[in-house]
Amino acid sequence: MAAASTAVVAGCGQQPPTGPVLVNASPPAAPRPEPPTPAAPLAPEESAVTPVPRPQAPTYNGGGLEEVAYIEGRVQDLEGSKDPVFRATALSSDGNTIKLAVQKVATDPCVQVPLYTVKKLKADGSVDEKTDLCEGESYPESPREACDSDSVLTGKAIAVPGYWDRLAGKYQTECPAGQCRFTLSCITGSVAKCVHWGYVPGRTHGTEELLPYFQACVHASRAHYLDDGKSFTCNRTPVDMFDKLGIQRPRPQQGMRFESLWRKDRLHCLAKTRYAHCDDELAGGPRPNPSECLDPSGKPPELWPKDALVGISSRLHEAADCPSNPKHCPR
C-alpha cells in the first residue's frame, strides 16, 4: 500500500520548523536490521560527548530540539535501555553540552518506530518536567489513511541513526573511531518527517535500501539547491513529495507544478525555485531549467533519471526576498 503526501515543509534559515505536515500513510516497513558497524554500548547514566570539528547543523533537528546538535551513542542503546528514562548528554549548537531525559511513550502508527518525549535534566539528575523540548509541536488533522494519529504524534520526537554534517553537506551514518551518533527530531522537523513519510534508515523497500531516500528527502524538503546546506524555503510552505519507489505518490494541490529532483546527497536538477527572487542567491550554482529537468512522476523507476530518488512539486511563492534569509519569510 503506497501513500500520497502533501506536506508543509520546514526551512527558513535558523527558525525552528514549526509548520504542520499533511501526509497519508506509509506502507508497512520491514524490521530494522542491525547496523553493519557495531559500537560499544552507551551507558544511559554515563553517556558522554566528544566534540568533533564538523558538528551537525542545528537547523536539521526539529522544533524545540533545534538547539541540540547530536547525541553520542546508538539508537539501539536508547531503545534497549532498561531504565524507562534514558539519560544522555548531547552537544548543543553553541558547542556546550545539554543533559536530556528521553522516554519512549508511544509508537508512530505509520512506520512503527518509537516516539519519545525529550526533556532536560536538572543538576541533581532529576527530570525537569517544565522543559519538554517538543511541546507544542503538533501534527494537524488532515486527509489520511488510518495509520495517522494526531494525538499520538503531537509533542513527540523520533530518534534517527546518524547526524547531519553541515560542512560535508550530507547525512552521516558512519561510526568514526567506534563512536556512533544519533539525532532526535521533533515530529515537525525535517528529519522526523522524512522517517514518518516512510523513508526509515536501516530498512528496505523490496531490495532497495531506504537510507538514500531518507537523505534525499531531507535535502528536498528543505530545498538545498546549493551544496552548502542553505535552505531556500520557509516554514509552512506546501509541497508534494514523490519517489521512484512509489512509497509517496504524487498528489499535487491546485497551482502546484513540478519543481525539482533530488539525489541522496544533493539536488539532481531544478525546474523552478520554490520561492521567487532566488536567482541572485543561486548565481554560480544550479539554474532553473524546465527543458532539462523533466517531471518523472507516474513513470516506472527505470524511466527516472539515473541517481534521482525523490521529486518535489510546489507553487511559486512570493516573498520580500529569497528565503535563504529567515527575515524574508512571509509571516
Q: Cα–Cα distances in Å, from 263 out to 132, 157, 221?
A: 35, 26, 12
| Number of neighbours of residue 205 by Cβ within 10 angstroms | 20
Could you tell me the pTM of the whole model? 0.81
When pLDDT is averaged across residues 284-299 and rounded to a whole number, the result is 92
The more confidently predicted of residues 235 and 291 is 291
Q: Say how many domains are in the chain.
A: 1
Residue with the bigger pLDDT between 251 and 194: it is 194
Residue 109, sorted as left (phi over 0), alpha (psi -120 to 50) or beta, turns out to be alpha
Average pLDDT of the chain, as a whole number:
78
pLDDT digits (tens, 9 = 90+) for 125-134: 899 999 999 9
Q: How confident is the model at residue 64 (pLDDT cuts 50, 70, 90)?
A: confident
For residue 34, what pLDDT band results from cuts at 50, 70 and 90? very low
Domain around 172? 3-328
Give the Cα separation of 83 and 137 in Å (integer): 26
Of 194 and 1, more confident:
194
State mean pLDDT over 253-266.
93
pLDDT at 305 over 90: yes
pLDDT: which is higher, 45 or 309? 309
